[in-house]
Amino acid sequence: MLEISELRKRFAGGSEAPGGKVALDGISFAVRPGEMFGFVGANGAGKTTTMRIVMGVLQADSGSVSWQGRPLGSDDRRRFGYMPEERGLYQKMRVAEQIEYFGRLHGLSAAAAKRATDDLLERLGLTERRGDAVQALSLGNQQRVQLAVALVHDPEVLVLDEPFSGLDPIAVDALAMALQERSRGGVPVIFSSHQLELVERLCDSVGIVSGGRMVATGTVSDLRAAESDTLRVVVRDPAPGWADGLPGTVTVNGDRHVLHIADGDDQEILRRAMKAGHVEHFGVQQPTLTEIFKEAVA
């Protein structure tokens, strides 16, 4: 298990924050083998800083990171796969050469590095670009190479900073599948993302960070259970003012009125809706991760 415990980090302040800027204010969470952990939070919340500390790129002021019950060291980190926020590829090196090179750097034999590279090129749809210099690739294709570099040495742990950003839907699916495979094979996977539908779809658990603190962690269904469900009612062509006085919001879409309401007597609301017009939909809706997120960081 990868355990992040009470990380604190303050950056020296500029003129705006002479006392320094607190980036992390006691971040703790754990990622178990085989778990896919989605790390979400607003811009500047502290995701990248946390990942950099895990990967030893930055020192925390205090707190600790442990792997399999021991403090995480540089030998362990060599067996981790990391995709940094600042992408770091050799622009002039050819795609396949580059992935193999990083494989060798992480201790693979030449044959193993070549095998893993060919496999990743295929999976990430890069086979035809294998001989191109990285600088000749589009942004999304460079991103795919960066991912291949993070995955080539069959890492024990994956730490990926916004791995899905800039990928087209086909590449998103290919990456999602590759990560799920690794995670089912027992690898803890942490990735940050602003694409919350994706996080909701892929992750076993989610951590929501805000202002350098973890404000919510748990499975998506745990997080959902902590929020109240809303009732969604769609009425076609209702009498004007039909929902007046109800503590919900109505959005109008053509002749359809959609009411979202968190409290109230559902039977009474149904009667009222039926009296007002043709009820097309009446059902309880669980909050989406986006709604949970907005609530948690508000």
Question: Using only C-alpha atoms, what is the Rg of the chain?
Answer: 24
Q: What are phi and psi of 166, to 5 degrees?
A: 80, 0
Which residue from 87, 99, 67, 102 is spatially nearest to 187, judged by alpha carbons?
67
Question: Among 42-50, 68-76, 223-231, 263-271, which window interacts with ligand ATP (CB under 6 A)?
Answer: 42-50
Q: How many angstroms separate the CA atoms of 43 and 252, rounded? A: 32
Residue 183 contact partner, candidates ligand ATP, Mg ion, none, CB within 5 to 8 A by sort of partner: none
> 214-243 mask for Mg ion (x: CB under 5 A)?
------------------------------
Q: Which stretch binds ligand ATP (CB under 6 A): 37-45, 86-94, 199-207, 238-246?
A: 37-45
Q: Which is nearer to ligand ATP, 205 or 210 (CB)?
A: 210
Question: Of 31-39, 84-92, 95-103, 247-255, which part binds Mg ion (CB under 5 A)?
Answer: 84-92
Backbone dihedral angles phi then psi of residue 77, each to the nearest 5 degrees: -65, -30
Least CB distance from residue 51 to ligand ATP, whole Å?
Answer: 8
Distance of closest approach, residue 21 Cβ to Mg ion, in angstroms: 15
Q: Does 198 bind ligand ATP (CB under 6 A)?
A: no
Instruction: Check binding of 47 to ligand ATP (CB under 6 A).
Output: yes
Among residues 24, 36, 39, 48, the one that binds Mg ion under rule CB under 5 A = 48
Q: Which residues bind Mg ion (CB under 5 A)?
A: 47-48, 85
Q: Which residues bind ligand ATP (CB under 6 A)?
A: 11, 21, 23, 41, 43-49
